[in-house]
Structure 1
Amino acid sequence: MDSRRLINVQTRLFLMIVFFTWILTAIFFALQYSRERDYKIASLDSHLQMQNAKILECIDDGKRITPQLVAAIDPGDSLRVTVIDLKGNVLYDSNGDVKVNHADRQEVKEAIATGHGFTKRRVSSTNNREYFYSATRGHGIVVRTALPYNHSLSEMLRANSVNSYIIVAIALIMSIIAWFAAHSISRSVKNLRNFANAAEFGDLSKYDSKSFPDDELGDISSHIVNLYKLQQATAEERDRNLRQAIYEQKEKNRIKHQLTNNINHEIKTPVHVIQACLETIENSGSQLDEAMKQELIDKAYANSNRLCSLIADLSVITRISDAPDQIQSAPVDVTSIVRQVADDMSVYPPEQQMRIHIEVPDGVTINGNHALVESIFRNLMVNAFNYSAGRDVTVKLVEETSDYYRFIFNDNGVGVAPEHLPHLFERFYRVDKGRSRSMGGTGLGLSIVKNAVLFHHGHIEVRNRKLGGLEFEFTLHK
C-alpha cells in the first residue's frame, strides 16, 4: 500500500491548512514585531532629537554646556551629551575628556551629511557600554545625545507581548476552523471516491447520488456521471481525426505523385523534340536542304530554351516551398522593378506588343526579395503578352496601409472561362495546352506568382473583368 494512504484525506488536508496558517502567522508576527520596534526606535530618536535641539539652542544663546545644564534639560542621570565639530573632534562629552576623533561614527557622518543621524546599538569606545545614539547638526557643530542600553531602555524598545498573544490566539482559532473545514471536505471526498469507484465498474444502480452535497464537489460528481459519454465521444473524435490524417497524407502523396508525373511529362516533351531533331540531322543530314536543317536546329534550340525555363521555374517553386527561411530579404523598390519589367517587354515582336500603363508612384518600397518581387510582375506581364490577346496592360497601386500595399494588374483581352479560374495558380495547369507550349510556356508562371506573393505575406485573387480580360488583385506586406 502506498505510504501516503496511511494518512487519510481529512488529516492531510488539516495538516496542510494548519501548516500554511502558522507560516502566515509567523510572517505576520515578524512583520508586526519589526514595525512596532521600528516605531519605538523612531519615537526614541525623535525624543533625543528634541533634546539635541534644546542643547543647540542653549549653545546658540552663548550658554556653556555643563552637567547642570544637561540635568536641567533631561532630569534623568543617564543621558550622555557630546558636542563635536564638523571635523569629528570632541569639544565636550558629559562622560569626561574624550580625545578620540568621532568623524567615523555612523550617526555623526549622517548628521554632517543630512542634518540628522542615529545608530540603534553600538559599544562606546570610551566606557565599553552599549548606547543608542542620536545626532543633530547645528552651526559648525554636531550635538549627539545617547542613552545606555539598560533594562528600562530594552523594555521600552521591546515589542508589546499583548499583540503576540492576540496573533497566536487568532492562529489557534483558525486551526480549529481548519479542522472542521477539513472534516466537511473529507466527507465529500469520500463520497466522491465511492461514486468514482462505482462509475469505474459501471455499477451505479446501488449508488445514491443524493449523498453528495450541494457544492462544488457535487458539481464535480455530476460531471463524472457523463464520463462514459465523454469517453465515447473522445474515442470517436480520435478515430475521425486519425482517418482525416490518413486521408490528408494520401492526398499529399497523390499530389506529389501527380506533380512528379507532370514534371516527367513536361521534361520529356522538349527532350524528345530535341532528340528527334538531332537524330534527323544526324541520320539524314546529307539528304536535307539547308532550310530544313535550319528549321530543325531552330526547333531544337527553342525546346532547349523551354527546358531551361522549366528547370529555372521549378527551382524557384522548390526554393519558395521548401526553403523559405533561406531566402534573404532586403528593402526592395517595387516602382523601379515594375518599370524595368515594362522596359524588358519591348523585345516582343510588334504583333505581340501591348500598351503598358503604370500607375505606381515613386518610393513604393517593401522589405522582401528582389528576385521574387520581379518574378511576380514579370510572369504577369508575360502571361498577358502571350495569352490575353489584348492591347493594354495596367499595373496600378490601389491602396496603401501601414502594413501593406494593394496592387491590381489587368489586361483588356479575352479572359478565361469561369471554370478555369480556380485552377490558374496550380502547377502545370494550362487553359490552352497547345498554345501554351507553342509560346514556350512552362505552366509554372502563375504558380510562381502566387507563391512569391505568399512569401511576402500577401494574398492574391484572379477574376474576369466585366469589360474583358483578366484582373489580378494582390497585396505585398511592407
Structure 2
Amino acid sequence: MRISFRYKLMLSYLLILLVMGGSVFFYLNRTLESSIIATLKDNLLSQTRLASLMLSRDAGKQSDIPALAVSLGKAVTARVTILATDGTVTGDSEVRADQLHELENHINRPEVQGALQSGYGTSVRYSATLRHDMLYAAVPVTHEGRIDGVVRLALPLSSLVSVRSGLHRTLGTALLFSFILTLIFSYILSRLTSRPLQQIASIASEMGKGNFNRRLPTGWHDELGDLAVIMNEMAEKLDDQLSRLTSERNRLDAILSGMGEGLMVTDKSGTITLVNPAFCRLFKVYEGIIDNPISNISRHPALLESHDQVSREKYELINEMTIQTPEEKFLFTHWVPLLDENGMQGVVAVFHDVTDLKRLENIRRDFVANVSHELRTPVSVIKGYSEALLDGLIKESPDKAAEFVQIILNHSERLAALVNDLLSLSEMESPDFSFDMQSISIEGTVNKVCSLMKNRADSKGIRISVAEPGKGFTVVADQGRIEQVLVNLLDNAIKYSPGKCSISVTTEDDDEFIRVSVKDTGSGIPPASIPRLFERFYRVDAGRSRNEGGTGLGLAIVKHIIQLHGGTVWAENNRDGVGATFSFTLKKD
C-alpha cells in the first residue's frame, strides 16, 4: 500500500507526540507515586516515633497495652500494632485483646527486623489479613536504654490508588488534548511541507518522461531551494545532452540511410544489432533482422565463414564474395572486430555492391574483344591486298589490281563507318553532350529520310510506303539525330528484307508521345535474340551482317538517341509471322 509523504510526515509528528507523551506519562506516574510513598513513609515514620515515645513513657503497664494501641490508632488514624521483643503481638488497634493470641508472630516482618537492627524499619507489602497493600513503619520502644518492644504503624495505600487514578485521568486528558492539537497542526504543517515536494515530484516526473523544459521555482530559502536549483541545472544539462544525442542520432541515421554500402553490426554471439537500409536492399530482407542471428539472413558459406573468422582471429578481413538474392551479386566486404578492454564485443561489416562494376568490366572486356575482332578482319584484308599490290600485281594484272583496290576501299569504308559509330556512341555518353533541340515535324522528317533511302530500296526492288503520315505531329528533338535513327532502322529493314517486298513507316498518337514504327517483311527475329538486339556489336546473323557492311553498332546508337530524348525503343515480330517491327516514341511538342 502506497502512503504519501504528507501522511508519513503527519504520522511522524503523532509518533513523536505519543513517544514523548508516553514517556512523560510513565515518568510522572512513577515519580509521583514514588514521591507520595516517600512522603507517606516519612509521615508514618514520624507518627511511629511519636507513638514510641508515648509507649516509652507508659512502659511497665502491660495490661493497658491493648487499650493504648486502640487509643493511639484513633489519634494517628492508622493501624497500631505493639510487639514484644520476641515478635509477639501485645496490642493492635484493629484486633480485640481476646483475639491477639490468634495473630502470628511478627518477628520476621522486614519492618520489625529493621526496627530492631537499625532503629527503624519501613516496608510496603500486601497484607493477607486486610487483603490490600499496606505501608508499614516500625520503631523500637525503649526504656532506660533497653528495648522493651516494637511499635508498628500501618497505613493502607488505597488512597494512593485514588491519587494515581486522578493523575492518570489528568495526564490522559492532557495527552488527548495534545494529540488533537498535534493532529491539526501536523496536518497543516505536512501540507505546507509536502506541497513543494509534490511540485518537485510532478516536475521530476515530467522530466523523467523527456520534458526538460519545465523548471522548479527557486524561491524556497532552505534545502528544497538548493534541490530546486540542482534539479534545474540537471534538467538544463540533460536537455542539452539529449538535444546533442538526438542530433547525433539523426545525423548517424542520415549517414547510414545515405550510405550506398550495406552496413551490419553484430554482437559477439553473431546476433545482428544494427543494419542500414542499403543492407536491407542488398540482401532483400526488410523485417525481423534485428536480434536475429546472421545465419537467418543468409546461409552463404563465405558470409558465415568471414564472420566466424573475424570473431575467432580478432583481425579485420577484406574479401570478395558472390551471393544469390535471388539474382547473382558480387560483393566487396570489409570486416572489422569490435574490441574493448573486456575483449571481443562484436563485428562490423561493410558490403560494397560491385555487381555493376563487374558487369561494366565484362562489358568493357567484351567491347574491347568485339572492337578488336571488328578491326582485325578489315585490317587483315587491307594488309593482304596491299601486299599483293606491292608485289607487282598492278603491272602484271591491272584488272585484278583494280578489283583489289576496290576491296581495299570497301573495307576502308567499313573501318571508317565503325570508327564514326564508335565516336557517335562516345560523344553521346559524354556528360557534356547536348542535342540541338527544336520543334520539328514528324511528317517532314519521315518523308525526307524515306526519300534518302529510296535509291537503296529500289536497288533491291523494295517499296517504302508511309502510312498514317502524322500530319500536324510535332516533337521537340534534334532533327539530325532523329533522321539518323530513321536511317539506321530503314537501312536494317532493307538489309534483312528479301527483294521485291515492302517496308512501311507509320506514325501514331500514343497519349503523351508520338510513336513511329518501321515494319518490314523479312525473316523476322529469333525470340531469344530480341532482348539483346540493342547491345553493342550484337548480331543475329554475324556473317550476313558483316557481308552487308554493318558495324553492329547501329541499333545501340538508335537506343542511345531515343533514350536521351526521353523516349523508348523496342522491337517485336509481326503477328502474321512475317518480318519484324521496330518502334520508338518521342514526347509531343
More strand by share: 2
- Mapped partners of 1:340, 1:450: distance in 2: 21
Cα offsets for 1:109-140 (capped at 9, x unmatched): xxxxxxxxxxxxxxxxxxxxxxxxxxxxxxxx
Q: Aligned AA for 2:422?
A: L
Q: Which residue of 1 aligns with 2:382?
A: 274
Q: Which amino acid aligns with 1:393?
A: I
Specify every segment of 5 or more residues in structure 2 that has no aligned partner in the other structure, as ranges: 1-196, 212-265, 284-330, 333-350
Cα distance in 2 between the residues matched to 1:292 and 1:256 = 41
Kept after mapping to 2: 8 A contact 1:353/1:385: no
| Amino acid across the alignment from 1:330 | Q
Q: What RMSD over aligned residues (CA atoms) do the two structures have, in Å?
A: 3.1
Is contact 1:346–1:353 with CA below 8 Å preserved after alignment? no
Deviation at 1:362, TM superposition (A): 2.9
Whether the 8 Å contact between 1:427 and 1:447 is mirrored in structure 2 is yes
Asked if residue 450 in structure 1 is aligned to residue 562 in structure 2, the reply is no
Q: Deviations over 1:430-471 (max 9, x none)?
A: 111111111111101111111111011011121111221011
Match of 1:433 in 2: 542
Change (3 A) 1:302 1:418: same
* 1:250-291 alpha-carbon deviations (Å, 9 max, x no partner): 211121121122122212221221121111111132564222
User: Could you say which residue in structure 1 is the equivalent of 2:365?
Assistant: 257
Residue in 2 that maps onto 1:118: none
Aligned to 1:422: 531
| Secondary structure of the structure 1 residue equivalent to 2:354 | helix
Cα pair 1:324 1:455 within 8 Å, conserved: no
Instruction: Pick closer, same or farther for the CA change 1:295–1:349 going to 2, 3 Å.
Output: farther
Match of 2:142 in 1: none
Whether the aligned pair in 1 keeps the contact of 2:497 and 2:521 (CA below 8 Å) is: yes
**Cα deviation, residue 357, structure 1:** 1.5
Aligned to 2:208: 187
Match of 1:476? 586
User: Secondary structure of 1:352's match?
Assistant: coil
Cα distance in 2 for partners of 1:338, 1:447 equals: 20
The letter for the 1-side match of 2:429 is S
- Mapped partners of 1:261, 1:450: distance in 2: 22
Structure 1 match to 2:138: none
Residue number in structure 2 paired with 1:205: none
CA drift at 1:230 = 6.4
In structure 2, how many angstroms separate the alpha carbons of the residues matched to 1:396 and 1:461? 15
Amino acid at match of 1:424: L
> What code does the residue aligned with 1:231 have?
T
Which of residues 470, 484, 490 in structure 2 aligns to 1:361? Answer: 470
1:309 Cα offset (Å): 1.0
Aligned to 1:409: 518
Q: Pick the aligned partner of 1:307 from 395, 400, 415.
A: 415
Distance 2:514 2:378 in 1: 39
Deviations 1:379-413 (A, max 9, x none): 00000001132611111112243x32122221111
Q: Which runs of 5+ in 1 are unaligned?
A: 1-175, 191-226
Q: Structure 1's 288 and 334: CA in aligned 2 closer, same or farther, altered over 3 A?
A: farther
Match of 2:442 in 1: 334
Number of aligned residue pairs: give it: 268
Corresponding residue SS for 2:515? strand
- Assess if the C-alpha contact under 8 Å between 2:538 and 2:552 holds in 1: yes
Q: Deviation at 1:377?
A: 0.6
Q: CA deviation at 1:300?
A: 0.6
Larger mean Cα displacement after TM superposition, 232-241 or 261-270: 232-241
Larger radius of gyration: 2
Q: Could you tell me which of 380, 399, 418 is aligned with 2:509?
A: 399
User: In 2 relative to 1, CA 313–177 (structure 1 residues): closer, same or farther, beyond 3 Å?
Assistant: farther
| Residue 317 to residue 182, structure 1, CA distance change in 2 (3 Å) | farther
Query: In the aligned structure 2, how far is the partner of 1:377 from the partner of 1:239?
Result: 41
Residue matched to 1:173? none
Please tell me whether the aligned partners of residues 427 and 433 of structure 2 are also in contact (alpha carbons under 8 angstroms). Answer: no
Secondary structure (helix, strand or coil) at the match of 1:327 reads coil
The residue that corresponds to 1:103 in the other structure is: none
2:559 maps to a residue whose letter is K
Residue in structure 2 matched with residue 162 of structure 1 by the alignment:
none
Q: How does 1:48-87 map to 2 (within 5 A)?
A: none
Is the contact made by 2:470 and 2:508 (CA closer than 8 Å) also made in structure 1? Answer: no
Aligned partners of 2:497, 2:445: CA distance in 1, in Å?
22
Secondary structure at the counterpart of residue 362 of structure 1: coil
**Is the 8 Å Cα contact of residues 335 and 361 (structure 1) preserved in structure 2?**
yes
The whole-number CA distance in structure 2 between the counterparts of 1:331 and 1:367 is 4
Give the SS at the match of 1:231.
Answer: strand
- Structure 1 SS opposite 2:273: helix
Task: Measure, in 2, the Cα distance between the counterparts of 1:449 and 1:238.
Answer: 33
Offset at residue 181 of structure 1 (A): 5.7
CA distance in 1, matches of 2:540, 2:442: 29
- SS of the aligned residue for 1:285 comes to helix
* Cα distance in structure 2, aligned partners of 1:293 and 1:385: 31
Contact 1:356 1:394 in 2 (8 A): yes
**CA-CA distance at 1:426 after TM superposition:** 0.6
What TM-score comes out, normalization by structure 2 length? Answer: 0.42
Partner of 1:168: none
What code does the residue aligned with 1:314 have? L
Opposite residue 277 of structure 1, the aligned amino acid is Y
How far apart are the structure 2 equivalents of 1:182 and 1:282? 104
Instruction: Give 1:414 deviation, angstroms.
Output: 1.1
Structure 1 residue 246 and structure 2 residue 354: aligned? yes
Q: 2:485 aligns with which of 362, 372, 376?
A: 376
Q: Return the alpha-carbon distance in structure 2 between the equivalents of residues 238 and 413 of structure 1.
A: 45
Alpha carbons 1:334, 1:373 under 8 Å: kept: no
Against the structure 1 CA distance between its residues 349 and 184, is the aligned structure 2 distance closer, same or farther, given a 3 Å change threshold? Answer: closer
Percent identity reads 28
Compared CA separation, residues 356 and 187, structure 1 to 2 (3 A): same
CA distance, structure 1, for counterparts of residue 199 and residue 359 of structure 2: 62
Paired with 2:203 and 2:282, the residues of 1 have a C-alpha distance of 43
**Is the CA contact 1:352–1:386 (under 8 Å) kept in the aligned structure 2?**
no
Work out the CA distance in 2 between the residues paired with 1:251 and 1:245: 11
Q: What code does the residue aligned with 1:471 have?
A: T
1:284 maps onto 2:392 in alignment: yes
Residue 317 of structure 2 corresponds to residue 317 of structure 1: no
SS at match of 2:353: helix
1:231 aligns with 2:273: yes
Q: Is the 8 A contact 2:382 2:408 kept in 1?
A: yes
The 2-side partners of 1:342 and 1:433 are apart by 27
Cα 1:290–1:376, aligned 2, differ >3 Å: closer, same or farther?
same
